[in-house]
Amino acid sequence: MRKSSAFILVTLAGAAILCGLLLGHARYGQARDRESLEAAAALAGSLELTDLCLFTEACYTRHPAMADLHAPFQDHPLALEHFPSGSLLTPPPFPARPHEPAH
Amino acid sequence: MNRLIERHRGIIDFACSSLLRRKGKNISLVLVYTLMVAVVASVIFFVQALKREAALILKEAPDMVVQRMVAGRHDLIPLSYGEKIGAIRGVGAVHPRLWGYYYDPVYRANYTLMARGDGGPAEGRVVIGSGVARTAWIAAGDLLTLRSAAGDPTLLQVDAILPDSSELVAADLIIMSEPDFRAFFSFPAGKATDLALTVANRSELATIAAKIVRQFPDSRPILKSEMLRTYESVFDWRGGMIVVILGAAILAFLIFAWDKATGLSAEERKEIGILKSIGWETGDVLLLKTWEGAIVSLTAFLFGTILAYVHIFFFSASLFAPALKGWSVLYPRFSLTPAVDPYQIAVLFFLTVVPYSVATIIPSWRTATADPDAAMRS
Amino acid sequence: MIELSGVTKCFNSGKPNRFTAVEEVSCVIEPGVVTVLKGPSGSGKTTLLTLIGCMARPTSGRIVLSGFPTLPPLGDGGTGRVDVSSLPERFLTGIRRATFGFIFQHFNLVRGITVLENVMLPAYPTGEVRGAVRKRGMELLEMFSIGRHASSRVDSLSGGEMQRVAIARALINNPSVIVADEPTAHLDSRLSREFMEIVGSFRSEGKTILIASHDPLVFDSPLADRVIGMRDGRIVAGAPPS
């Protein structure tokens, strides 16, 4: 087989698989998980939850939506930075004075 | 049209020949490039999926949460505040929330304890999240032992374990009845952790918040939009480690392209001379070089992205887990729903394929434009 | 026919190491015959070949090609006379590819690819259908009795076999003019004589052959219809008046 034919075939196969995944499987996955996501949302609603449970090391990593600029200092003055959650969680994008328009 | 296709195919044939001639070097190049694309694409898919799930799950979050701050710290809020806030026009209902943290020294994990009044477990019984069950090796019907604030061991019967679908939002929860909660934490009567408000009209949220702050200067209202924005910024490109990973990847891309761009070996130069002497035009030679670059980068892009997709959505980002887990002992099991942002994939495609293919032309430019008679003299 | 008038080629002009390879060369290369450029190394034979073969443009002077079927109908109203000394590269390459076939002194084969691929290489960028080119390539290899090496790498061939691959490659686009630079330099006497026989067969097909050589086996051969002597970039013997 000509080398260019082999390359074109492999590339087309790869592109087909990629499109199949990005379009087909993604859509299928979203449909498949819709119920469980809605159940989770309902649970969050009934429990009045405000945060995802991503990093359980510290209060400001567990509830970043509830945390403020001082929250990391509440643990301990010499507390070590939690890694990598500390790097991933930026300070809350709240304005300094509440309910002013955010910049 | 046929001629054009045949021309490109002929040049691709020779480009493949050229690449295969230095098999070892080029195969390792493709592998490394693929891996790099896989890492960047994994981050893209992961962040995209989490962002989508956060938005979907948290759309049921309370419209506003009111906290109380004392000396810069989050303090308990008196229920009397709640009564007065309930009287503000536009506020639908005020639900005091009781929740807090518990550190389990046996398993060194942090749990979030919540009290739930109506519909919650009976006294002496709890409903726990699947993460707690996993960490403390508990099944439904078992007894959970916690040490109360007064120092006494408290035995609680586990009624049920929350379903796996709730991992992302409730993995570390222990839900108990309100009397149990207050007794356990020696929680002062007449106080709550914070207040959750229902507000019917979204556009009034800011006004109501301003009123609350005016009435209670030590309070801190948090709007739902601000809660969601916190998560958007966590998953934003500009956040912490994502910038580092991307920066490292872009640097690696540039190093590759630079390596390509800085020079042609004597053998390659001779070969270009031969091609020109047997009738290849400058344009043909440059097209050859571009295809050489494109073959490598296209392959790397396609298989890197496929690898990333499979890693994140079929293997639940298992390679990221140790990095993200950090110091936590209790880590939710991510089974992410596929979410695709075509714009970001397109940008990744252009960044992967175009600079590399173009960089391959740069060192060949001079040799490709030289007169072919140089080949006669070799 | 190829007409040269006052062709001069200077290298590095304007610099201290300025060097004139070809000086005021005027001659006519007749079509359908074997012309040999004879002279010691440094006499400018190779440079002249590159100029005639449209590989480089002269510093001054004119080179006019006429009468070859592969010339495009440019220039004066379809008579097929083309002044290649002033054509831009685009057209020059097209003419070169279709009209000339080169055989280099060091063969200039691409290592690491097969013999057949080497032979087909000049035709790759033309967009011609692969099957037809492949067939022609195999026919040429058979014609020079190296068909059995079609799928071997060039590195494994002997000197004589490599030269035949080079000759086959020169013929893949069916050119009207064959140009050979010191073709017998790496061959023994038997192979040199075989080469001249192949040249004879080209001539009987009506092709024009131009050889640069300082090998007596070439310029003293009965097949050499005309011998032009060169020295220090000038013609010193054998050129008919233009």
Q: Per residue in A21-71, pLDDT tens?
A: 999 999 999 999 898 889 889 988 988 898 888 888 888 888 888 887 777
Structure confidence at residue B328 (pLDDT): 75
Structure confidence at residue A20 (pLDDT): 93
Contact predicate B254/B356, CB 8 Å = no
- Closest CA relative to residue B40, chosen from B325, B341, B305: B305
> Which residue of B5, B13, B376 is in closest CB contact with C55?
B376
> Which residue of B13, B278, B287 is in closest CB contact with C169?
B278
Note down the domain range covering A73.
50-94
Going from N- to C-terminal start, the domains of chain B cover 2-58+236-377, 62-234
Residues with Cβ within 8 Å of B265's Cβ and at least 6 positions away in sequence, in order, are none
Tens digit of each residue's pLDDT (9 = 90 or more) over C47-67: 888 888 888 888 888 998 888
> Which residue of B54, B62, B338 is in closest CB contact with A52?
B54
Residue reference for tokens 């040049």: B11
pLDDT surpasses 80 at A99:
no
- Closest CA relative to residue C167, chosen from C204, C130, C194: C194
Q: What average pLDDT does the segment C137-166 reach? A: 88
Structure confidence at residue B374 (pLDDT): 65
> Per mean pLDDT, which range of B61-70, B232-241, C19-28 is the poorest?
B232-241
Structure confidence at residue C186 (pLDDT): 79
Chain A residues with CB under 8 Å of B340 CB are 22-23, 26
Task: Verify that A2 and A43 share a domain, yes or no.
Answer: yes
Whether residue A77 lies within 8 A of chain B, CB to CB, comes out as no
Task: Verify that A54 and A43 share a domain, yes or no.
Answer: no
Chain B residues with CB under 8 Å of A8 CB are 9, 12
Q: What average pLDDT does the segment C164-193 reach? A: 88
Task: Verify that A31 and A62 share a domain, yes or no.
Answer: no
How many domains are there within chain A? 2
pLDDT surpasses 70 at B241:
no
Task: Verify that A26 and A65 share a domain, yes or no.
Answer: no
What is the average pLDDT value for chain B, to the nearest integer?
86
Instruction: Give the ipTM of the model, two decimals please.
Output: 0.84
Percent of chain A with pLDDT over 90: 27
Task: Verify that A44 and A76 share a domain, yes or no.
Answer: no
> In the structure, how many helices (H) and strands (E) does chain A have?
5, 0
Tens digit of each residue's pLDDT (9 = 90 or more) over C197-206: 888 988 898 8
Structure confidence at residue A93 (pLDDT): 61
pLDDT surpasses 50 at B177:
yes
Residue A83 falls inside a structural domain: yes
Task: Verify that A60 and A34 share a domain, yes or no.
Answer: no
Task: Verify that A54 and A74 share a domain, yes or no.
Answer: yes
Residue B103 CA to residue B169 CA, distance in Å, equals 19
Tens digit of each residue's pLDDT (9 = 90 or more) over B47-74: 888 888 888 888 888 999 999 988 888 8
Top-ranked range on mean pLDDT: pick from A38-42, B235-239, B240-244, C91-95 = A38-42
pTM of the model: 0.82
Residues with Cβ within 8 Å of C77's Cβ and at least 6 positions away in sequence, in order, are none
pLDDT surpasses 50 at C242:
no
| Domains located in chain C, CATH noted | 2-237 (3.40.50.300)
Chain-chain contact of B278 with C124 (C-beta, under 8 angstroms): no
The residues facing C20 across adjacent strands are C10
Topology of domain B62-234, CATH: Barwin-like endoglucanases (2.40.40)
Residue A77 falls inside a structural domain: yes
Instruction: Classify residue B152 by its DSSP letter.
Output: -
pLDDT surpasses 50 at B121:
yes
Percent of chain B with pLDDT over 70: 94
Task: Verify that A60 and A72 share a domain, yes or no.
Answer: yes
Chain C 94-113, CB below 8 Å of chain B: which residues?
Answer: 96-97, 102, 104-106, 108-110, 112-113
pLDDT surpasses 70 at B274:
yes
